[in-house]
Amino acid sequence: MPSETVPLEYRAILHWIRHGSSVLDLGCGDGALLALLVREKNVKAQGIEIDERSIHQCVARGLSVFHEDIDRGLSDYSDRSFDYVVLNQSFQQVKQPDIVLQEALGVGKKVIVGFPNFAHYLARLQIFFKGITPVTPSLPYEWHDTPNLHFLSILDFIAYCRQREIKIEDSAFIGQNRIIKIFPNLFALVAIFLISPLKSGGRSNGPSIWKNIPR
């Protein structure tokens, strides 16, 4: 895939991941991100995916993947067995995001979380003026057929990280075909965070704590 067609969120993730590291992608779908990481960063890749058809696509891409429910599949791994654990667009779809994220923070040295921003201005307008459940480019489903189980905003996630003593190392906010720099909670359709547990990752050799945090 030529680099200009790589989605912006993939580019952000690609930027964070070290060459030759190990990556566990939770809810890896058809394996597009993992295959990209293998090709561009030569990572040791492992996916977990619940949909059988997606498993077939991953295998066709030469990926290793487990046919499992990430709501119950993580406890088998020993601590710190991956450099990165990715929860991209699957975070808001698991039954217990709190537990899954805590487990991901145990299994991975760092965790990448990507989710649709529920506080995007289009969503706000639809709720306020039309009084309907919002449908936006990053939340394209009707209320009755959405795979999403949890709806959160960028501010929700930041508050959650503070509460859970999770260190936010970096973040990227993405709108329609562009990176959002100002008022991300209003203009970003998708948010991606690079996080790590505050306790074990205390001394940072990367970006300082709370860098890039929108106010």
Partner 1 sequence: MKKKPNVKQAANKSAGILVKRVDANKDNGLGIVQKNYFKFALPPGELILESGEKLGPIIVAYETYGRLNEQRSNAIVILHALSGDAHAAGFHKGDKEPGWWDDMIGPGKAFDTNRYFVICSNVLGGCKGSTGPSTVNPKTGKKYGLDFPIISISDMVKVQKQLIDHLKIDQLLSVAGGSMGGMQALEWLTAYPDRLKSAIVIATALKHSPQQIAFHEVGRQTIMADPHWKDGHYYGGRIPAKGLAVARMIGHITYMSEISMAEKFGRRPGDEKPHKFSAGSEVEDYLQNRGDHFVKRFDANSYLYITRAIDSFDVSRGKDLYEVFKRIKSKVLVLAFKSDWLYPATQSREIVRACKLVGVDTTYCEIDSTYGHDAFLLEVDEETHLVKHFLQRVSVENGVRGKYGVMEYAI
The reply on whether position 65 binds partner 1 by CB under 8 A is yes
Q: Give the strand pairing for 22-26 and 190-197.
A: unpaired
43-62 positions binding partner 1, by CB under 8 A: 44, 46, 52, 55-62
Mention every residue, 6+ apart, whose C-beta is less than 8 A from residue 112.
13, 16, 17, 84, 85, 86, 87, 88, 192, 193, 194, 195
CA distances from 136 to 75, 91, 157, 175, 211 (A): 34, 18, 19, 11, 28
The reply on whether position 77 binds partner 1 by CB under 8 A is yes
CB-based contact 91:156 (threshold 8 Å): no
Site string for partner 1, 183-212 (x = CB under 8 A): ------------------------------
d(C-alpha 101, C-alpha 150), whole Å:
14
108 vs 184 by CB, closer to partner 1 = 108
The reply on whether position 80 binds partner 1 by CB under 8 A is no
76 vs 98 by CB, closer to partner 1 = 76
Site string for partner 1, 125-154 (x = CB under 8 A): ------------------------------
9-38 positions binding partner 1, by CB under 8 A: 32, 35-36, 38
Q: Look at the chain and count its residues.
A: 215
Q: Which residues make beta-bridge pairs with 42?
A: none
36 vs 191 by CB, closer to partner 1 = 36
The count of residues interacting with partner 1 (CB under 8 A) is 27
**Shortest distance (Å) from residue 30 CB to partner 1:** 9
The reply on whether position 110 binds partner 1 by CB under 8 A is no
39 vs 178 by CB, closer to partner 1 = 39
CB-based contact 95:149 (threshold 8 Å): yes
Q: What is the DSSP string of 50-77?
A: S-HHHHHHHHHTT--EEE--TTTSSTTS
Q: Residue 53 CB: number of other CB atoms within 10 A?
A: 9
Binding site for partner 1 (CB under 8 A): 1, 32, 35-36, 38-39, 44, 46, 52, 55-68, 76-78, 81
